[in-house]
Structures are given as structure tokens and as C-alpha cells.
Amino acid sequence: MAGPSTPRQARSKLTLERIVGTARELWTERGNDGFTLDEVSERSGVSIGSIYNRFAGKQDLVEHLHEQGVEAMVDDVRARMTAPGIAHDLPGRVDWLVRVVGSLLSDHAAVLRPSMVAALRNERIAAMGKRGHAVMVEHWAERLREVGDEIAAPDVEEAISWSFTVAYSVLARYLGLGSSAESAYEGDWDASLRQLTLTVVGYLSYQREESS
């Protein structure tokens, strides 16, 4: 990916912002394959030549949009999942984490939907998505380790990892992310969050014997 050239003047910077802003609107409205550079040019008022001066082609522009989206989400994850003053018991901590992750996925759904589709055939976009996912996993684990003495599983790290996988899968399915768009928004959101919290707390609190 060549990426956008560095703007040297205020006018050039504004032109780049118009290109990227317009492309983002079309991208979130229609997905990765639902718009053309000609449409970006027409809607933004920027010539097609100026667009090609900054991006090698549509794929280059789309990858730039994905990269911006992931960076914004990573910053948001770090800000929200490191907030102070949260509950110090396991049920309260899980409830907080489930709601934070749910709000993050919901707030960034417009970017996550096309990103998850594109990741199936674009290794670079897939790598970006994995990075964002890894940051979320990392903070989920850190916050649960703080109440690790209440986790009854023999392998605490494995239990924490599994709990995130379950929570993420349930929330992503509800929001229609990835391949589950047909089942999006089934049921009540708050009720789903409460049930998910109970499920995760129950799993982490259940005393199991290690298999021999």
C-alpha cells in the first residue's frame, strides 16, 4: 500500500480530508465494493486526478479507511477499558466489561462491518482487525486479573480468554458483525447484556476439577 502522500500545504491537506471523508461516507453506506473513485470525485468535488495523486487506486484508499477506523477504535478501547473507579468484585467487574465492550462494538459497527467482510480476502486488512481485537482482549484480561482471586477455574488465564471469546461472539452476533447480519438486533439489548453477564460470571465462578 502506497498510502496517501503527506500534504505540504493547507489546501492540499483539506483536499485529502475531503477525499477521505467522502470515501468514508460511501464506504459505511455501501461497503467495500459499493462505490467507485468516480463517485468519490463527484461527491467531494475533487478531481479524479487529485485522488490518484494521493492514492494508488481504490484498494489503497479502502485500506487507508480501514487503518483509520482501527486506529480510532484502538484509541477508544484504551480510553474506555482503562477507566478508574469500576467495581472491585467479579460480578460487578464482568457487568462493566460486558457493557463497555458492547458499547465499543456498537459505536464502531459502521467500520467493523465492512472490515470483517474485507478481512476474508485481504491479509493487510485482516492484520489490522486482529490488532484491534488483540488490544481489546488484552484490556479485558487485565481488568479480570485484578479480581482473579474470585475466579474459580483451575487455569485462570484460559478461563479469562474463553470468557472474552464468548462475550465478543454474542455481542458481535447481536450487532450483525461479520457473517451474522441476518440475526442482527434480535431481542432486547439490555436483557442480552444482563444474560451475558450472568453467563460469564457463572462460568468464571464455577469450581471445576482439572481433568487428569
Q: Are residues 52 and 69 in the same domain?
A: no
Find the domain containing 182 and state its range. Answer: 62-205
Q: Are residues 24 and 107 in the same domain?
A: no
DSSP, collapsed to helix, strand or coil, labels residue 186 as coil
Q: What is the CATH number of the domain that holds 49?
A: 1.10.10.60
Other Cβ atoms closer than 10 A to 103: 14
- Average pLDDT of the residues in 158-174: 95
Report CA-CA distances (Å) from 89 to 11, 20, 32, 97, 204. 53, 44, 43, 12, 12
Q: Are residues 159 and 77 in the same domain?
A: yes
Percent of the chain clearing pLDDT 70 (strictly above):
90
pTM comes to: 0.84
Residue 2 confidence (pLDDT): 55
Number of H helices, E strands in the chain: 9, 0
**Does some domain include residue 77?**
yes
Query: Residue 193's pLDDT band (boundaries 50, 70, 90)?
Result: very high
Task: Confirm if 179 and 169 have CB atoms less than 8 A apart.
Answer: no
pLDDT (tens digit per residue) in 62-104 = 999 999 999 999 999 999 999 887 899 999 999 999 999 999 9
**Does some domain include residue 36?**
yes
Non-local (6+) Cβ contacts of 160 within 8 A are 140, 141, 144, 145, 151, 204
pLDDT of 145 above 70: yes
* Alpha-carbon span 58 to 46, nearest angstrom: 15
